[in-house]
Structures are given as structure tokens and as C-alpha cells.
Amino acid sequence: MSLNEMGKNAKAAARTLAVAGEKKNDALKAIAKALTDNADKIIAANKIDIENGIKNNLTSALLDRLKLDEKRIKGIADGVLEVAALPDPVGTVISGSTRPNGLKITKVRVPIGVIGIIYEARPNVTADAAVLCLKSGNAVILRGGKEAINSNKCIADIMRNAIESTGLDKNSVQLIEDTSRQSSVELMCLTEYLDVLIPRGGKGLIRAVVENAKVPVIETGAGNCHVYVDESADIDMAANIIYNAKTSRPSVCNAIETILVHENIAEKALPVIKARLDEKNVELRGCEKTRAILGDCVVPAIESDWETEYGDYILAVKVVPSFEDAVAHITKYSSGHSECIVTSDYKKAQRFKDEIDAAAVYVNASTRFTDGGMFGLGAEIGISTQKLHARGPMGLNELTSMKFIIEGDGQIR
């Protein structure tokens, strides 16, 4: 099927979804059950992707993103039910007023319409994105990476059948099965049907979409995140936060890629931090001062290390002479995702919150919390690093637009 045909189908489905009401929750519950009931089928398809990934020398971190098992599938299904339980944003009154001439003006939430999602080797996104779009009344066209194509096709087919079983249009969710570059380019140019395109993936994918898309884009995901260990920091706390923020899942966008350590605490803090990171064999790439403290086990850092989103067990380390230098470094290299300070100094914490320009700014907590579920927003479509329309975890409200309803009794201007 051509993308134009998919676009027409999505546009038609979006019109019915906009007024589907409780039927959307029926579809979500059917999807959750179908995913669980067909777990063996999904795992079999995923096994093919994993085998291909190993043959193509995917990193361990990418293979981890790609892998599905019963536990992860149950987690996806549970997430679908959580979305079903969330309040429906469609029709929510944002504000209202009555004008002096008697006109009643109300601003309400409405679906965006047709959303395109372009993403890489994460088959869970196929389900996550689809159910969030469905709940918010949007039709979605999904375009995943070739690494996960078998998993994506299986999940999409299961969801489409489940949606159809509840009386809604199965074309509410569509998957582009062509994983060539051409299909990406066509999706980016589908201006007649696509209302917005959301890329989820690494820096290269996001840049390509932002630079080439003709449809509006919500920029998400690139995560060059930092932890700054201030001179007043509790060293054990800093080590625990860094260990969690780097190693709990290094392939995700809220994992840290660089730590900055104040020179007044570096000689005491760096050995403790390294001892924790050694538990997961994290490779350190450090400045000269870092290497002077920790020795030749630290790889000499080069300029590109400060701007790289590794997505792996690699961490850049820099000793800085002051708070101001730490802020300057973060300002220069941050992707605007999540930034953290570990400090016991209230004034430094306040300054960090005020001076750091990022979607999420942390004081004494791991950046791994930048997540819709962790923020109490339910599931999310991604982490927006831009400033227009949405910023930070994008939940249901961020997948809606708005319109004004004006009610009168014959007023003319």
C-alpha cells in the first residue's frame, strides 16, 4: 500500500476517532488482552530480529532495546491498561468566558488528527505510540527501523485486529513495512495527510527529520545528559545517582553521558564513583585532571566525547574548577533533555535550577526519572526537547490541539 493510501485511510479513521468516546477504551483493553494472549507469537517474531541484529553486529545496548520477552510484553500490556484508565483529554474545557456582548467562548481540547511516528530499534514504541495516539483520538502512521521490522509487524497486526474487534477503524493504527530510506523521506513529505511528525531515536535520526521534513515536527529524544557533582556534594549519594543514571539502562535517552566534578572534591569523589561504575565495567573517558587522579585506566577524552550520546556503558568525565564552569559546559553541550546537580548547597541548587535550560532539571536525583510514568503523567510518546507546544514528557494532553467554541444568540459584528 502506498503512503498516500495510508494517509487517506488515516484521515478517515481520525474523523471517527475524534468522536469515539468510550469506544477508545474498549479498543485499548482489547489491545492489552491481545498482546498478552499472543506473547509467544511476538517473541517468535522478535527472535528473528534479535538473530539478525547479532549478525549485523548491533551493540549490546541496541540489542537490549530490541529484545522482547514475556515480562516486557506484560509490561507493555499493563501500560496499555494504564492509558485506558487515564482521563480522556478530548473535550476537556481549558478555559471559558462570556464577552460583554453575550458571546460565550470556550476553549476545548481536540485531537491533533493524524500523527506520524518515526523511530528506531524499539518495538515497544510500536505499541506505546499507537495506544497514546488512540486514546487522544488521533490516527497514527508508524515507521519503525529495519532492526525491529518483524516484531513491529507482529505487534501492529495484533493491535489492528483488536481495534477492529471493538468496532473502530483498524486504520487508526498503520505500520509502514518498507524500511528503506525512501519511505522515511515520503513520510516526512506527507503534508496532505500528516498533521505532525514525531521522531523517536538517536541524534542522527532526529536531525535528519528536523532538517528534511515538510510537515511540522515535534523534536524529541536526543539525550546528552549530565550530572554535576558540586564541591558540597554527599559523595556516596553522588556515586549512587551516577551509577543509576548511567547503568540502569544506558541505551535510553534519560541516561547520562557526562559527569562533571568540582576540583575541590574530585580526589575523594572520583575513586568512589569509579568503584561503583566498575561494577558494570563502564569505560571512562576523562580529562587530564581525571586521568591524574584515576590513572591510565581512563581513556583520554577528546572534544567529540563531550557531545556524544553513547547509549552504552561509556561515560565522559571532566574535573571543573567552579560551579560556573560546570554550567558553561552543560550550556555548550547539553541537548536540553535532563540535567542534574548533586549538592548540599541550597544557593547552588537554586542557581542550577534557574540557569540550566533543559526540559528537566534535577537536584540530588537520577535523570532516569524523566519519564511520563515516573512524573505521574501515564505513558508518554517521547521527551520533547523543544520549547513550542510541548516540552519534557509528552503525555495525552500534549497529543491534543485546541479549538474555540463560540455560542451566541444572534450577535453580529
406, β-bridge pairs:
105
DSSP SS3 for 266: helix
Nearest Cα to Cα of residue 392 among 317, 338, 346: 338
Cell representation of residue 96: 471559558
Higher pLDDT, 121 or 218: 218
**174 pLDDT higher than 90:** yes
Nearest Cα to Cα of residue 119 among 39, 43, 190, 197: 197
Give per-residue pLDDT as tens, 27-60: 999 999 999 999 999 999 999 999 999 999 988 8
Residue position matching grid coordinates 468496532: 167
Q: What letter represents residue 334's amino acid?
A: S
pLDDT of 107 reads 97
DSSP SS3 for 6: helix
Nearest Cα to Cα of residue 233 among 258, 259, 262: 262
Q: How far, in whole angstroms, is CA 409 from its chain's centroid?
A: 46
Contacts of 179 (CB under 8 A, 6+ apart): 143, 144, 145, 146, 149
pTM summary value: 0.82
Contacts of 148 (CB under 8 A, 6+ apart): 46, 49, 66, 120, 121, 122, 123, 126
Question: How much is the CA Rg of the chain, to the nearest whole Å?
Answer: 23
pLDDT band at 322 (very low <50, low <70, confident <90, very high): very high
Q: For residue 314, count CB atoms less than 10 angstroms from its CB and return exposed for 0-12, middle for 13-18, buried for 19 or more.
A: middle
pLDDT of 260 reads 98
Spatial distance between the Cα atoms of 65 and 78, rounded to a whole number of angstroms: 18
Spatial distance between the Cα atoms of 319 and 297, rounded to a whole number of angstroms: 16
Spatial distance between the Cα atoms of 407 and 102, rounded to a whole number of angstroms: 9
pLDDT of 221 reads 67
